[in-house]
Structure 1
């Protein structure tokens, strides 16, 4: 039996001037919408992020994580309120390492001086991720039949967008998990992988590997879009499995919300079409706090810590 794979979508028609009557773009909009509905994941090529920039960002990230611990710790976060910077992610996932950055120019960033050009490269690719994020947001907006620019206006506080360079050491006899099964707690996530297999998505109780494809980005939706779409989209559970004998590097961009943003199923997808909302509304900050409390009470290896299920409206009769 053939191993299933997540859809691959080509965005090249969005960068051409010869799309005619827009049939090509509509085809891509339909493909993205179908992928978000069926998998919560897809890969995209010809997305506008320069290949040489992607390669350089991964190479410099790998070089940074090969530095001595003394050097890396110089990039430790300034405070717990602004956790940008270098960190190790605990023994339960094998002491993975990460370097987290906020938007370029933000005062919360603690960035390394070495390797040479790393900060500049990461700021460049952050801006490119912002562009492709806006494009995917507009495609999803169109597929859902929302007013032009609706999602962009709703999620207009982009200062909280975050990018993380991840480093997963090789698997050992103690652990093969890089990151345990989870859903993302944001809107949309973009993943740039190196050439080491590890990312997997769960569908119909089966784990589907997402092999790295040169020049591609992996895109997945988070639970916020799951709520906004009234579960027309469902954030897929995914994990990272470590490779024996090789470390793995990736760069992940998170499209986030402002902490005070109100989240609920959109009226265009509920009452305006006669459908009952599947979630009650909440403030995003409240959701993050619920998720944090769940992480504090339960072991880190539990299946899911998102907490979005606490807002789900039961359809059972009392």
Structure 2
């Protein structure tokens, strides 16, 4: 099992005057994380680490209490609060189960989504990933999805298709989300039948 660290973007240079070298390094790591990994972690981001204690208090509430402040159940991604334990040791792995990527304490992990991959025509990649807990410990995750509205038409932007042409067919965002949610509720028996963003990929024969 190979252990490594995903690209780390240090935002501290942006909280002070000058330090252009530090800012350029952060931009370089951001670019590398998006184009080569599809994920990066942000440190010195200014979010109080004490916020984690507040989250622990919230997640300790009974499910019925937490769901009182859930967003509209008809939202594109309805809220859910689950408690789970995982027997695996890795903190974070992506793309291949033989490679693990460790995350620094207090860092914010940013995953590039499928929409960005389509809009940039594969210039920026969406990583297949899974987060798991160290053995015998409970994992606390707060995920925030920044996404497009369901009626948004998604297709490669023209500035990314001039050399190779579009690599994806256009689609409505809500249709793709519906396919993924249906798959989550009724997982296919075979991995090759699983729907990913490649469902909209244009083959060489088309």
TM-score above 0.5: yes
How many Å apart are 1:306 and its aligned residue?
5.4
Do the aligned partners of residues 79 and 209 (structure 1) sit closer, same or farther apart at CA in structure 2, a change above 3 Å counting?
same
Between Structure 1 and Structure 2, which shows a larger proportion of strand residues? 1
2:132 is aligned with 1:241: yes
Match of 1:287 in 2: 176
Give the one of 70, 74, 96 matched to 1:81: 74
- For residue 3 of structure 2, give the secondary structure of its aligned residue in structure 1: coil
Give the one of 46, 55, 74 matched to 1:61: 55
Do the aligned partners of residues 79 and 266 (structure 1) sit closer, same or farther apart at CA in structure 2, a change above 3 Å counting?
closer
Do the aligned partners of residues 217 and 85 (structure 1) sit closer, same or farther apart at CA in structure 2, a change above 3 Å counting?
closer
Q: Does structure 2 conserve the Cα–Cα contact (< 8 Å) formed by 1:270 and 1:277?
A: yes
- For residue 4 of structure 1, give the secondary structure of its aligned residue in structure 2: strand
Structure 1, unpaired ranges of 5+:
88-96, 98-166, 178-196
Match of 2:148 in 1: 257
How many Å apart are 1:41 and its aligned residue?
1.4
How many Å apart are 1:25 and its aligned residue?
2.8
Aligned residues: 203
TM-score, with structure 2 as normaliser? 0.81
Quote the RMSD (CA, aligned, Å).
3.1
TM-score, with structure 1 as normaliser? 0.55
1:86-125 residue pairs with structure 2 within 5 A? 87=81, 97=82
1:254-291: CA deviation from partner (whole Å, max 9, x where unpaired): 111111112111111112xx221111111111211222
Q: Distance in 2 between matches of 1:216 and 1:30?
A: 18
Give the one of 200, 208, 227 matched to 2:92: 200
Q: Does structure 2 conserve the Cα–Cα contact (< 8 Å) formed by 1:200 and 1:207?
A: no
